Amino acid sequence: MKTLNVGMIGYKFMGRTHSNAWRQVDKFFSVPAKPVLHTVCGRDAAGVKKAAKQLGWSHVATRWQDVVANPEIDILDINTANDTHAQIAIAAARAGKHVLCEKPLAMNVREAEAMLAAVKKAGVVHMVCHNYRRIPAIVLARKMIAAGDLGKIYHYRARYLQDWIVDPEFPLVWRLQGKIAGSGTHGDINAHIIDLGRYLVGEFAEICGHLETFIKEQPIAGTKKKGRVTVDDAALTIGKFKNGALACLEASRFALGRKNHIQVEVNGSKGSLVFDFEDMNRLRYYNDADPVDRKGYRDILVTEGVHAYASAWWPPGHIIGYEHTFVHTVADFIQAVVKGKSVQPTFEDGLQNQKVLAAVEKSAKTRRWVKV
């Protein structure tokens, strides 16, 4: 079997999930090439050596430029803070590396356009890691919508709620600093439900948004001082898709009791679908054509082998979890690299998501509707 040497920049939370995905993918999927965990890169030498030992990487680096320049590496997996995505991805493309990049793709539309131009010019495979697209239940929802099972789509409503920064003594981490993160909850988790809206329903036409920062200052780690929070804590968005469907999105990192709550509902003229990430192997379906005395939401357990990705795992009824979505992502990416084909979501999708994010930000500032 052909091998593909992988270089990964960034090794903390997302680095762990990606490392496990690269390491497991050929055990469960018939991929045409075996990924080899070649080099992991991080700024802290001791930390990155520890990560390499724990996660199975053969080599370490503390400068991303060294990973990009290494002729042995075929694929670059970018898990860094948002302000470095563009420079690393553009350099990787120029060096002929295929690129998998965490979301949001960039800090702004201008950077996303430059990244897309670079990968197109280089002819490399490019992908944004929106792993929720690869939940079997979400794939089934897209299939049912495309088949017309819901009829004309009227509503897409979604919410993504967390609570990890509610504490006013939580330190001022990079995700709370606009110069590094670009935006807060908006780019971190609202980006996911924006992407799911595009995946399931279609392109956004216009947007009206509001961004809110509840706690204006947080402690600076290792000091008695506080620093200003320069990103949003919550984002509210209403909008309209090009096909006429309405959108209602809510994202917050201040929803006490919600750890990683994602819920999506799509309503059409013939039926509705509901997905809840806390029960991610199940899709709820309402069919208006059912007899009156039997109408109601039915549960579809999306674990049968006929469903996307399910046949690679366990017998029906044996559920998969969050980590498996990354294995699915990597499996599809490897297939695309070997075949030299495009794989969604591409940097084009990343750019389109960035345009929606920017439209929400502009709307929040101007207090007006904004066309995407």
pLDDT of res. 281: 98
Q: In the predicted model, what is the mean pLDDT of residues 177-193?
A: 97
Give the pair of three-digit tokens for residue 22: 């690269």
What's the sign of the alpha-carbon dihedral 32, 98, 187, 221?
positive
Check: CB of residue 148 under 8 Å from CB of residue 140.
Answer: no
pLDDT of res. 11: 82
SS3 per residue for the chain: CEEEEEEEECCCHHHHHHHHHHHHHHHHCCCCEEEEEEEEECCCHHHHHHHHHHHCCCEEECCHHHHHHCCCCCEEEECCCHHHHHHHHHHHHHCCCEEEEECCCCCCHHHHHHHHHHHHHHCCCEEEECHHHHCHHHHHHHHHHHCCCCCCEEEEEEEEECCCCCCCCCCCCHHHCHHHHCCCHHHHHHHHHHHHHHHHCCCEEEEEEEEECCCCEEECCCCCCEEECCCCCEEEEEEEECCCCEEEEEEECCCCCCCCEEEEEEEECCEEEEEEHHHCCEEEEEECCCCHHHCCCEEEECCCCCCCCHHHCCCCCCCCCHHHHHHHHHHHHHHHHHHCCCCCCCHHHHHHHHHHHHHHHHHHHHCCCEEC
pLDDT tens-digit map of 80-91: 999 999 999 999
Nearest C-alpha neighbor of 182 from the set 354, 346, 349: 354
pLDDT of res. 12: 84
Q: In the predicted model, what is the mean pLDDT of residues 273-295?
A: 98
d(C-alpha 13, C-alpha 81), whole Å: 12
d(C-alpha 180, C-alpha 26), whole Å: 35
pLDDT tens-digit map of 152-169: 999 999 999 999 999 999
Superfamily the domain 138-321+328-342+352-366 falls into:
Dihydrodipicolinate Reductase; domain 2 (3.30.360.10)
Q: In the predicted model, what is the mean pLDDT of residues 262-271?
A: 98
Q: In the predicted model, what is the mean pLDDT of residues 264-293?
A: 98
What is the average pLDDT value for the chain, to the nearest integer?
97
SS3 per residue for 3-55: EEEEEEECCCHHHHHHHHHHHHHHHHCCCCEEEEEEEEECCCHHHHHHHHHHH
Check: CB of residue 206 under 8 Å from CB of residue 372.
Answer: yes
d(C-alpha 29, C-alpha 4), whole Å: 15
Res. 68 pLDDT band, cuts 50 70 90: very high
pLDDT tens-digit map of 322-346: 999 999 999 999 999 999 999 999 9
pLDDT of res. 265: 98
Fold match flag (2-132 vs 138-321+328-342+352-366): no
pLDDT reading at 200 higher than 70 = yes
pLDDT tens-digit map of 214-244: 999 999 998 999 999 999 999 999 999 999 9
Give the pair of three-digit tokens for residue 254: 């201040």
Q: Domain map of the chain by residue range?
A: 2-132, 138-321+328-342+352-366
Could you give the percent of the chain with pLDDT greater than 90? 97
pLDDT of res. 2: 86
Burial status of residue 365 (CB atoms within 10 A of its CB: 0-12, 13-18, 19 or more): exposed
Give the pair of three-digit tokens for residue 326: 């990354």
pLDDT reading at 1 higher than 70 = no
- The CATH class of the 2-132 domain is alpha beta
d(C-alpha 58, C-alpha 235), whole Å: 41
Res. 13 pLDDT band, cuts 50 70 90: confident
d(C-alpha 337, C-alpha 330), whole Å: 10
pLDDT of res. 118: 98
